[in-house]
Structures are given as structure tokens and as C-alpha cells.
Amino acid sequence: MLFIHNDVAHDLLSMRDCIDIQDVAFKAQAAGTAAQKPRSDIYAPCDLADGYYRGGTVEGYANGYFAVRIKSDIITWPRNADGGWNEDKHCIEPGTWCGLVFLYATATGEPVALINDGIIQHMRVGASAALGTRYLSRGDSKTVGILGSGGMARTYLEGFCCVRDIESARVYSPTQANRERFAEEMSAKLNIPVAAVNTPEDAIKGADIAATCTSSMTPTLKPEWLSPGQHVTMLGPSEVDDTVLEACDVRIAQAAEGALDAPGAERGIGHSAVSWVAGTEEERKRLPAPKAHSGGTKSAIKLPDFADLVTGRAEGRTSADQISFYRNLGNQGLQFASVGGLLYEKAMAAGTARDLPTEWFLQDIRD
């Protein structure tokens, strides 16, 4: 069994491979040969007076591998000077996080890898955004506008450059130093000009591909910023509300929205997950109201999903003037199984991961 650390994942995973392996997995789900369970979260009180503990899991099977991704976060919801608010998270202390992917080979049931989820998390999300862009954006898309300057924004832009011949990009985030650092680093990495701009509207207006990649708990896009022929995608469930969806002509979700619901469970506390909440009545007051923001709750607009698109049950872009939208949420289990399996095979071939005795994870007592 391998322990695959983030440094190994960084060296071995390519964005193009992550896009292609998810394309295979998503089509397999449409054909019934891959499967997943939606993300579910458990909220419990923590030591912070303004925070809550959130443990989350997703599971999926694709390409001969079963993956379980487990997260352990302390969540806070700080307010911004402009009245907006974000979701922040850490494990133990700010600046450290804990997420692990357990990977099993379904041919024998053998546990084959334990993977840090940091690099694989960024890569699988950016790749899935790029996959939606591959299917829905104009083939001649050349420019990108991005809101956000973190790790996810970096992989989104990298992914877009893999599926379209991108010539330039603009980025906005509230902190000037962050957006300027993003522009400098991504210009050098992708060999295209990336400009830091002073307003979100400046980033989005006129871009062929528009992406919001933030931790905001309130909408970040406005419909009047969109333009004919644009492709729009997002990261968090609260970034896009129904006013933006209504401005789009073609709307596709990564996964069927019904798969994100469960009878009796709460939903929309900060992520598109079903959630179970523990705590006293007073402790629960720390949590955002489940329906406090339209983007994080059920939309009034039902979207066909990727399976509908690739099987012909839903129509994609049919003209250059249409505005397309891809809801980049829902297939986490498939992503961790497909990208995790890819990473495991690359690590086996490279011999760079750390060995763990498989017998540590086996037992002679039946459950």
C-alpha cells in the first residue's frame, strides 16, 4: 500500500490527464458503469465561539477503483468590510488542513493507497471546470476572466488553457497583493499575459470564459456583466444565483441536483452537501441559516446534468452567441476515484511514493 504525499501528487499529476480521466469517468456514470454517493457532512460544536466542526465524506467508483475522501475542518464565517461573508476553514490551527483519500482496487478489495487530498483536490476541481468548458464554451474562446486568486483559481485557469487556446486572462480578488501575485505567477507558468484588475466587473465583462472561484457565501456575479457568447462556471454553491442562471441560454450541472438531497437532512449550510447537525440550540446559532443565501439552497431553475448532455437528452451550445453555464459541483466521488486511481498508477510506475505495509490495514476479525 502506498502513502502518496502532496509533493508526489504535485510532481506526477498533469492537468490534461486529470481532465481526460474525468471525461471517461463522467461518461461511464452516464452509461451506468461508474457510481458515487453525494457528499455528506456532519456538523458538531467545536472550541471556537464563532465556529463549528464539519466532517465530510464523499465516495465513488470509477475505472477499477473505489475512493473515500474524508475531511476534518473547523469552519468560521467571517464578515467582510463590504458586507459580504466567506467560509474559512482549518484543522487544529489556521494554515493547516486535513483531508485524506482512501483508495481501494475493486478487483480484489485491496487497500492500495492513502493520499493527501491537497493537490488532488485542486486538480480535480480545476479539471472538472475545464471539462465543462470543453463541452460548452465556444471553440474559439481566447480570453478568461476570473474572480478569486487562490489555489482553485490557479487550477481553473490552467485547465481552461488545456481545452482552449487561451491568449490572455484578467483576475480580480479583493486584496490587491493577492491578485497581483496571481497575475505574475500565472503569466510565468502559462506563458500568457494575466492582468490584475481593480473590480470584479473589469475581470468578467467581455471575457470569453468567466469563472468565479471564491469562498464567498453570497453571489459574486451580476447578470449585467455577462455578454453574448460567454461561458460561465463557478466553484462554490453560493457564488451564482438565479438571476445569473436566467441570463444564460444553456445551463448544465455537473451532477443531477436531486443527487444532492436526502429526506430529512439539512442542506445549504455552506456547501452543496446533505448535512447532519449536532449541538444544543444555542450552539447551532453559530451556523449560517440553511436557506440564508439562494446560491447555497435549491435553485428554482432545474438544470440537466453532464450525463444528459453526453447522452443527447440535453442540448449544449448551438450558436456562438449563446451564454453557457456549467455548475461545477456534484461528482466529487467520481473525481476522487478517477483522479486518485490515475495518481496511484503513476506513483507505482515512478516508485516515488512511500510504502505502508498492507497488513496494517487488514484484519482476521469479520465485521
Q: With bands split at pLDDT 50, 70 and 90, how would you rate the model's confidence at 281?
A: confident
Nearest to 146 by CA among 237, 244, 220, 228: 220
pLDDT at 264 over 50: no
Q: With bands split at pLDDT 50, 70 and 90, how would you rate the model's confidence at 273?
A: low
Any idea which fold 122-265+293-330 has?
Rossmann fold (3.40.50)
pLDDT at 265 over 90: no
Mean pLDDT computed over every residue of the chain: 91
- Asked if residue 124 lies in contact with residue 58, where contact means CB atoms within 8 angstroms, the answer is no
Q: What is the pLDDT of residues 156-202, one digit of tens each?
A: 999 999 999 999 999 999 999 999 999 999 999 999 999 999 999 99
Interacting residues of 112 by C-beta distance below 8 A, sequence separation 6+: 1, 2, 65, 103, 104, 105, 344
Per-domain residue ranges of the chain: 2-120+333-360, 122-265+293-330
Per-residue model confidence (pLDDT) at position 293: 40
- Which one-letter amino acid corresponds to residue 97? W
Per-residue model confidence (pLDDT) at position 299: 65
Per cent of the chain over pLDDT 70 is: 92
* Alpha carbon distance 224, 205 (integer Å): 9
Per-residue model confidence (pLDDT) at position 86: 85
* Start-end of H helices in 164-231: 176-190, 200-204
pLDDT at 290 over 80: no
State which of 32-41, 97-106, 270-279 shows the largest mean pLDDT.
97-106
Better pLDDT: 157 or 263: 157
Residue that has been written with the C-alpha cell 486568486 in this structure? 149
- Asked if residue 25 lies in contact with residue 34, where contact means CB atoms within 8 angstroms, the answer is yes
Average the pLDDT over 76-104 and give the result: 90
- Asked if residue 212 lies in contact with residue 155, where contact means CB atoms within 8 angstroms, the answer is no
Per-residue model confidence (pLDDT) at position 295: 40
Pairing of strands 266-267, 274-277: antiparallel
| Three cell numbers written together for 297 | 439552497
Q: With bands split at pLDDT 50, 70 and 90, how would you rate the model's confidence at 298?
A: low
pLDDT at 142 over 80: yes
Q: What is the pLDDT of residues 301-329, one digit of tens each?
A: 889 999 999 999 999 999 999 999 999 99
* Whether the predicted model's global pTM rises above the 0.75 cut: yes
| Three cell numbers written together for 196 | 490584475
Q: With bands split at pLDDT 50, 70 and 90, how would you rate the model's confidence at 263?
A: very low
DSSP code per residue over 311-324 = HTSS----STT--E
* Start-end of H helices in the chain: 6-12, 15-31, 118-136, 151-163, 176-190, 200-204, 242-247, 281-284, 306-311, 332-350
CATH label, 2-120+333-360, candidates 3.90.850.10, 1.10.290.10, 3.40.50.11440, 3.30.1780.10: 3.30.1780.10
Q: What is the pLDDT of residues 48-80, one digit of tens each?
A: 999 999 999 999 999 999 999 999 999 998 887
Coarse DSSP helix, strand, coil percentages of the chain, rounded to the nearest 5 percent: 35, 25, 40
**Helices 332-350 and 15-31 meet at what angle, rounded to 10?**
130
